C-alpha cells in the first residue's frame, strides 16, 4: 500500500484524536445539563420565584456569552484583520469606551434588572402562612391557618397548594440553616434570634426536594425535605387530616408498640397528639406514616427504614439528638415500628 494511504475501514488517528477531544470537551457540558432537570433544579422552575431566578440566570448567561463573543471578535480584529498602531487620541477613546462606559452600562442594566425582581420576593402573602424552624438536623413545620385557629404541627415535609402565594416564616433555635426548594423559590437563611420570610407561589403540582443550603454541622448533608404541591381541594383535605389527633392503635402488634412507645420514653421527645406523648424536642409523629420520607428526606417511609432508623440512628444521622435504640429487643423494635407505621 502506498505511503500516506489509509487502509479501507481504518480511520485516521488524527480524526480519532479530535473525536476524543470533542467528547472530552462536551463531557462537562453534558454533565452540567444533566443537572438542569429533576425534582431539585433551579433551572426547571415550578414556581413564580424560581421562574424569575431562572430567567435572571439565562439572561446573565446570554449577556456573558455576547460579551465574550464581542471580546474575541475585537481581539481577532485587532491582532489579525487590522493590526497596527492607533493614535493616542483614538487609543484613549477606546480605553474610555471599552474600559469604563461599556462595563458600567452593562453592569448597571443587570443590577437594575436584578433589583426589579426584589420586591416580589418580599411581598407579604395574604393567604396561608407556614412556620419552619431548622433543627439539628430536621425541619419543624407548623401550618398557621389564621383567624385564631391553632397551628398544625408536622415535620420534614412541606405541602403547598398550587397557584397560591404562601408566606413561609423561617427561624432556628441554635445554628444558621438555609431553607431552599430550588424548583420553587430562592433560598433564605434561618437565623437564630430572628424570623426571616420567604414568599413562594408554586405553579405546578408534583413532588420536589428541598434542602438545607448552609453548612450547619455534622449531618448538614442529611437535612432535606419532601415538597408536595397539590391541588387546592386535596391540600385542604390533607391539612384537615393533619390537624386531627392520631388514629387509635389498631390492636395487635401496633397496640403493643403504643405501650412500648410510652414505657420506653419516646413521648418525652415526640408528640403524638391525642395520646400522653407530648414531647417537643423531636418531630411531631401524629401522622408520621402519612409522610413520604423519613429522617428529614433521607430514608423511604417503609417498615425496614423505620426499624433501621430507630436501631441505628447515630449511624444513619451522626450526632442527631436522638440516641440509637438498637439495644431494645428485636420484638419490641418491631412492635414500635408497627405502631409508628399505623400513624397515618
Ligand atoms: Cu441545616 Cu445545613
- Check if 177 has its Cβ closer than 6 Å to any atom of ligand 1: yes
- The Cα 106–Cα 198 span in angstroms is 29
Sheet holding 177-180, edge to edge: 157-161, 224-230, 206-212, 177-180, 188-190
Ligand 1 mean position, distance from CA 67 (Å):
37
> For 265, left (φ over 0), alpha (ψ -120 to 50), or beta?
left
**87 alpha carbon – ligand 1 mean position (Å):** 59
CA of 310 to the centre of ligand 1 (A): 22
Integer CA distances (angstroms), 272 to 63, 130, 202, 269, 321, in order = 54, 20, 30, 10, 18
What atom of ligand 1 comes closest to residue 223's alpha carbon?
1
Instruction: Extract the C-alpha cell encoding 33.
Output: 445539563
**pLDDT for the residue 201:** 92
Cβ-count burial 136-175 (b if 16+ within 10 Å, e if not): bbbbbbbbeeeeeeeebbbbbbbbbbbebbbbbbbbbeeb
Q: How far is the CA of 131 from the centre of ligand 1 (A)?
A: 17
For residue 176, which atom of ligand 1 is closest to its CA? 1
The full set of domain ranges for the chain reads: 39-84+122-243, 253-341
- Residue whose cell numbers read 386535596: 234
In CATH terms, 253-341 corresponds, of 2.60.40.420, 3.40.50.2300, 2.40.10.10, 2.60.120.10, to: 2.60.40.420
CB 232 within 8 A of CB 163: yes
Q: How far, in Å, is the centroid of ligand 1 from the Cα of 186?
A: 16
State which H helix or E strand residue 106 sits in: helix 102-122
CB 204 within 8 A of CB 46: yes
Nearby residues of 19 by Cβ (< 8 Å), 6 or more positions away: none
pLDDT (tens digit per residue) in 9-25: 444 455 566 666 666 66
- Structural contact between residues 183 and 42, judged by C-beta atoms closer than 8 angstroms: yes
Q: How confident is the model at residue 38, as a pLDDT?
A: 79
* Closest CA to ligand 1's atom 1: 177
Residue linked to cell 448567561 = 61
Please report which helix (H) or strand (E) contains residue 340, including its range: helix 330-341
**Closest atom of ligand 1 to CA, residue 215:** 2
- Ligand 1 neighbour 161 (Cβ under 6 A): no
Query: What is the DSSP annotation of 204-234?
Result: S-EEEEEEE-S--STTGGG-EEEEEEE-HHH
> Residue 171: enclosing H or E segment and its boundaries?
strand 166-171
- Give the nearest ligand 1 atom to 214 CA: 2
Distance of CA 295 from the midpoint of ligand 1 (Å):
14
What pLDDT is stored for residue 13 in this prediction?
55
Residue 175 makes CB contacts below 8 A (sequence gap 6+) with: 134, 136, 192, 216, 217
Using a 6 Å cutoff on CB, does residue 214 contact ligand 1? Answer: yes
**Does 39-84+122-243 match 253-341 in CATH topology?**
yes
Q: Cα 197 vs. chain centroid, distance in angstroms? A: 16
Residues of the chain with pLDDT under 70: 1-37, 119-126
Cβ proximity of 226 and 291 under 8 Å = yes
CA neighbours closer than 13 Å in the CB half-sphere of residue 123: 14
187 lines ligand 1 (CB under 6 A): no
Which CATH code, of 4.10.640.10, 2.40.110.10, 3.40.50.720, 2.60.40.420, is assigned to 39-84+122-243? 2.60.40.420
Amino acid at each position: 500500500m502506498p505511503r500516506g494511504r489509509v487502509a479501507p475501514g481504518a480511520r485516521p488517528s488524527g480524526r480519532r484524536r479530535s473525536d476524543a477531544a470533542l467528547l472530552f470537551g462536551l463531557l462537562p457540558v453534558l454533565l452540567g445539563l444533566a443537572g438542569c432537570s429533576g425534582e431539585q433544579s433551579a433551572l426547571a422552575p415550578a414556581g413564580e420565584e424560581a421562574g424569575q431566578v431562572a430567567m435572571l440566570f439565562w439572561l446573565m448567561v446570554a449577556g456573558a456569552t455576547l460579551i465574550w463573543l464581542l471580546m474575541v471578535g475585537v481581539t481577532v480584529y485587532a491582532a489579525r484583520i487590522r493590526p497596527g498602531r492607533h493614535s493616542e487620541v483614538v487609543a484613549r477613546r477606546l480605553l474610555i469606551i471599552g474600559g469604563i462606559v461599556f462595563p458600567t452600562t452593562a453592569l448597571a442594566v443587570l443590577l437594575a434588572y436584578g433589583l426589579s425582581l426584589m420586591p416580589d420576593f418580599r411581598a407579604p402573602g395574604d393567604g396561608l402562612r407556614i412556620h419552619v424552624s431548622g433543627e439539628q438536623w430536621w425541619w419543624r413545620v407548623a401550618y398557621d391557618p389564621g383567624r385564631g385557629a391553632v397551628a398544625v404541627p408536622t415535620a420534614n415535609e412541606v405541602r403547598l397548594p398550587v397557584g397560591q402565594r404562601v408566606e413561609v416564616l423561617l427561624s432556628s433555635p441554635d445554628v444558621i440553616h438555609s431553607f431552599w426548594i430550588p424548583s420553587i423559590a430562592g433560598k433564605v437563611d434561618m437565623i437564630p434570634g430572628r424570623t426571616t420570610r420567604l414568599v413562594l407561589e408554586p405553579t405546578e403540582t408534583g413532588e420536589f426536594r428541598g434542602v438545607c443550603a448552609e453548612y450547619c454541622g455534622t449531618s448538614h448533608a442529611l437535612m432535606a425535605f419532601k415538597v408536595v404541591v397539590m391541588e387546592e381541594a386535596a391540600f385542604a383535605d390533607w391539612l384537615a387530616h393533619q390537624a386531627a389527633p392520631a388514629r387509635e392503635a389498631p390492636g395487635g402488634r401496633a397496640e403493643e408498640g403504643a405501650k412500648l412507645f410510652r414505657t420506653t420514653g419516646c413521648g418525652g421527645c415526640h408528640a403524638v397528639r391525642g395520646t400522653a406523648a407530648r414531647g417537643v424536642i423531636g418531630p411531631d409523629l401524629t401522622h408520621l406514616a402519612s409522610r413520604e420520607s423519613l429522617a428529614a428526606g433521607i430514608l423511604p417511609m417503609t417498615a425496614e427504614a423505620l426499624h433501621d432508623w430507630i436501631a441505628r440512628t447515630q449511624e444513619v444521622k451522626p450526632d442527631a439528638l436522638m440516641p440509637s435504640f438498637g439495644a431494645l429487643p428485636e420484638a419490641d423494635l418491631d412492635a414500635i415500628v408497627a405502631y409508628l407505621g399505623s400513624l397515618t
